[in-house]
Chains A and B, each alone.
Chain A
């Protein structure tokens, strides 16, 4: 095995082009488990922890451009206000030690349907920026997930950054697990209200082969809020509306039974989380008036 340690982003892209089979390693919280248990012996490890650009965030045309190497701890400490949904999700990841090391880019690289960043990023309608020596492209996150633990990265590409619009409305994130720390989610849900566009964003985790949005639920809720004039009046959320939203979210999932939970529990818990997170978000929206 060879250890490649580029000092700059352009060196990293050259290294990946020269060795498309090289496995990138950022926080190592997924990669090292594989190595320690001999699940995988890559010919090359490509260390991304010496590249400053990857570990910075900045503003890009009104959006936050979050370098792929920013850790969960830093999202929590530095971006709680700008990216509330992602910060909430970050707080539920692993333990302090895992959050100090694990990165949002690594979550996308692993593309596990259970990754906690995904529902929050999907609800916020994030884009991902991929780069190679051939150039840079940005695509909606929905197009990034291509299958169970598979993503749209070409063999010579690396994840450069994630682009997220700071919210115009409240965001929520919920996750079901057996304890409060160190759990892979049984199911997870991200919600964002976008009052400036009268739109709703959602993200479902651990309940389909890939993280996904619940488009019908989003459209249903956005239209119902519009029809009742609730975006303007900020009146109380009718309970049956929240319940129906939950049912739409449930129908968007296609969960399986596994060691962490049954398909029917996942469906049920998603409907509950969707309903509750909507009522919390709506309370925030009313309070913000």
Chain B
């Protein structure tokens, strides 16, 4: 089937998609967007997290046919001409990236948290990240990165909302 949808603000069209394949497969194998990672294909790890119509979902659990005419934002869509998004920069600055496999999913998930909550508490951060696994178990640094990103976003003139899509 043909899939026409919006990804990172651009209209995308792909043909010959198998109806039962996942959005994750479509992104990685058909649209050349390998940022979203495939680690479990069963919703357990969160490394495939993307925005679907503004809501965080596991792209491995969305059927390709379900995304026609929807609005998808992947990790590739978070940075812009000026460079990395503050959430991404905070992950680097805090040493929250080891092998990096979980990072795209965590960045998108943290982005989603900070878009809703300017200064999340530690329990709120833990709860928000509960669906993202890091095999390198760098969770302490990951929590540091989210706190740092929250602080930096709050310091930008427009506040956190201004720096987030």
Contact = CB atoms under 8 A, between A and B. Distances in A.
B62 A32 contact: yes
Contacts, number: 91
B20 A1 contact: yes
Given A1-B19, A1-B20, A182-B130, A101 B65 contact: no
Contacts of A32: 22, 43, 60-63
Interface string B27-67: 00000000000000111101001000001111011110110
Chain A interface extent, by class: 20 to 34
Interface residues of B, number: 28
B19 A3 contact: yes
Nearest to A48: B66
B130 A28 contact: no
A128 interface: no
A28 B62 contact: yes
Interface in A30-79: 31-33, 35-37, 41-42, 45, 47, 49, 73
A36 B21 CA distance: 7
Interface of A: 1-3, 5, 25, 27-29, 31-33, 35-37, 41-42, 45, 47, 49, 73, 94-98, 100-101, 180-182
Given A36-B22, A95-B130, A95-B131, 4 more contacts: A32-B61, A95-B46, A97-B56, A98-B43
Interface of B: 1, 18-20, 22, 41-44, 46, 49, 55-58, 60-63, 65-66, 68, 109, 127-128, 130-132
- Top 9 nearest A-B pairs by Cβ distance? A95-B131, A181-B130, A3-B19, A3-B65, A36-B41, A32-B61, A33-B42, A35-B20, A97-B131
